[in-house]
Amino acid sequence: MYVMIREVENSLHKLKFIKEEGRKNAIDAIKEIGKPPVDPTARVDRYLEYFTIGPQSMDPAGIVYKLDHILDVRDTRLKDEVKLMAPASDDVQVNNLENTLEAAMALNFIYKVVRHFYIQGKKTLSLYVIMQIQMILPMVMKEAEAYASALKAFAFGQPIGDGAGPLVAAKLMHGYEIRKLPKDCVMATVPIEGRTALIIKAEGPGGNVGKPGDAVEAVIEENEGKIANVIMIDAGLKLEGETLGEVADGIGAAIGGPGVDQYKIEEKLTKYHIPINAVIIKEDIGDAVSPLRKEINDAVDKVIERVKAVILERTKEGDKVIIVGVGNSIGVGQ
């Protein structure tokens, strides 16, 4: 038990250091970019403690839209806070600063949870309390280190591993006319292999994942459901032993997050009986939130080849296809 407590204690020291660095980085970025008239430290500390209460699920009917509403309110509130903290920043910088603060917030939360188990374990001298946290500690530390390396990437506006989907979409849509879609998404109509591809991604280059669910819904409705196929491209979590940047394809809505967007996309696809395919680029959690690795960047062309193969195999000439690049568009224009 002493060995376990020591191990948790050492990790806790490291987490405290990472958390403090995260907070410091966020404050420095706000001061540098946002030029606040007053010291933003107190506001940042308050921001780091924000919480979101999920909707009540005793009667689950309609819970997705309740959750969607709560997430919208949270997003607006956090963006407003950043604007108050950093009045000199433009929209792109506001998004980047929000991402930086969210990474600092995640680090703060991880530290507090580990500390909670550590103190409780010491108070109760219960092996089982300490064991709970000690057993998952390697994974917790890996995630914390990933967020720590994400801080600078977000503050500087560098593309991250999660941006693999938008990067593919950007490569396909670059040079074509872009129009905005709800919410915080953009679309371009691109001819690919004799078909019309409607390519969607979150608007960049600010840190933003948009709401691809709303965007896909809107495009399907605009085309009265006459869509031959939907292809979603996203970063997928790789298992240990798999190669970074490996490309795989399959079936289903490739989108993470709380599930609201996946639900909306699946609802619309079911309504119009539209098939859905997915292409993923494999990476681990550390790569997903830290600056884009070269292997992932090199996988973009392989993904485009795979998407074209899916289009050729699953659609006919003249068909309309929706291609969605899912992920954070930070550092990726269009």
What is the binding site for another protein (CB under 8 A)?
A: 10, 13-14, 17-18, 21, 148-149, 151-153, 156-159, 167, 170, 174, 204-205, 241, 244, 290-294, 296-297, 331-334
The size of the chain, in residues, is: 334
Cα(57)–Cα(276) distance, rounded to whole angstroms?
Answer: 29
Shortest approach of another protein to residue 314 CB, angstroms?
28
Report the residue number, 106 or 170, with the smaller CB distance to another protein: 170
Report the residue number, 173 or 278, with the smaller CB distance to another protein: 173
Shortest approach of another protein to residue 66 CB, angstroms?
35
Shortest approach of another protein to residue 17 CB, angstroms?
5
Residue 196, φ and ψ in degrees, nearest 5: -100, 115
SS3 sequence of 69-121: HHHHHHHHHHHHHHHHHCCCCCHHHHHHHHHHHHHHHHHHHHHHHHHHHHHHH
Shortest approach of another protein to residue 16 CB, angstroms?
10
Report the residue number, 140 or 244, with the smaller CB distance to another protein: 244
Report the residue number, 20 or 75, with the smaller CB distance to another protein: 20
Three-state SS at 218: helix
Measured from the Cβ of residue 271, the count of other Cβ atoms closer than 10 Å reads 12
Cα(171)–Cα(316) distance, rounded to whole angstroms?
Answer: 23
Cα(93)–Cα(157) distance, rounded to whole angstroms?
Answer: 8
Shortest approach of another protein to residue 25 CB, angstroms?
8
Tokens linked to 143: 């995630």
Tell me, what DSSP letter sits at residue 54? Answer: P
Cα(305)–Cα(149) distance, rounded to whole angstroms?
Answer: 31
Report the residue number, 21 or 266, with the smaller CB distance to another protein: 21
Shortest approach of another protein to residue 46 CB, angstroms?
24
Report the residue number, 167 or 280, with the smaller CB distance to another protein: 167
Measured from the Cβ of residue 39, the count of other Cβ atoms closer than 10 Å reads 11
Question: Which residue's structure tokens are 């374990």?
Answer: 121
Report the residue number, 9 or 221, with the smaller CB distance to another protein: 9
Q: Please name the amino acid found at residue 126.
A: S
SS3 sequence of 133-171: HHHHHHHHHHHHHHHHHHHHHHHHCCCEHHHHHHHHHHH
Shortest approach of another protein to residue 248 CB, angstroms?
18
Shortest approach of another protein to residue 271 CB, angstroms?
34
Report the residue number, 34 or 291, with the smaller CB distance to another protein: 291
Question: Which residue's structure tokens are 């905005």?
Answer: 180
